[in-house]
Amino acid sequence: MSDTAIYVQSMLKAVGINADVEVLEFATQFQHYYAGMYQMSIWNLTPYLDPIYIFERFVGSKKSRQIKVWDDPNAVALLKTLFETTDDNERQRTIDAAHELLIKTTPLIVWQRASPSVPSGRMCRFSGLAWPETPFWGISLLN
């Protein structure tokens, strides 16, 4: 996470934004993260095959849970729909709508991998696989 923070800092500096990086011991970072005590944070995200859990991690009331960073009523409604439906087509439409809203409102930036020096187990038979836990759209099998 500290390598990614330094990378982001250099990109911000390149566009004229002066950002300081404060590297914290993990327990302290964990405490700050869950208390919402940061202006910007680099944080690892546990990968899930179902996007509902990624959206759930960030969507909700900031007043009741400081970890939530996206309290848009439309995002909250979409997340509720995701939890209530079992129809695959409806779930996909809802996930697509949540993704479009995420892009439109940009409440957070989900960063995949900043450092090519970080090893990643990846099979060479696939194209479009950014990291092992990437959702499976946009991936194709190479011949």
pLDDT, one tens digit per residue, over 70-116 is: 899 999 999 999 999 999 999 999 999 998 998 898 887 766 544 44
The domain spans of the chain are 50-65+73-108
Evaluate whether 54 touches 48 at the Cβ level (below 8 Å). Answer: yes
- Output the pTM of the full model: 0.62
Evaluate whether 28 touches 35 at the Cβ level (below 8 Å). Answer: no
Q: Is pLDDT at 32 greater than 90 in this prediction?
A: no
- Predicted confidence band at 120 (pLDDT cuts at 50, 70, 90)? very low
Q: Does residue 138 or residue 4 have the better pLDDT?
A: 4
Q: Does residue 138 or residue 23 have the better pLDDT?
A: 23
Place of tokens 């923070």: 5
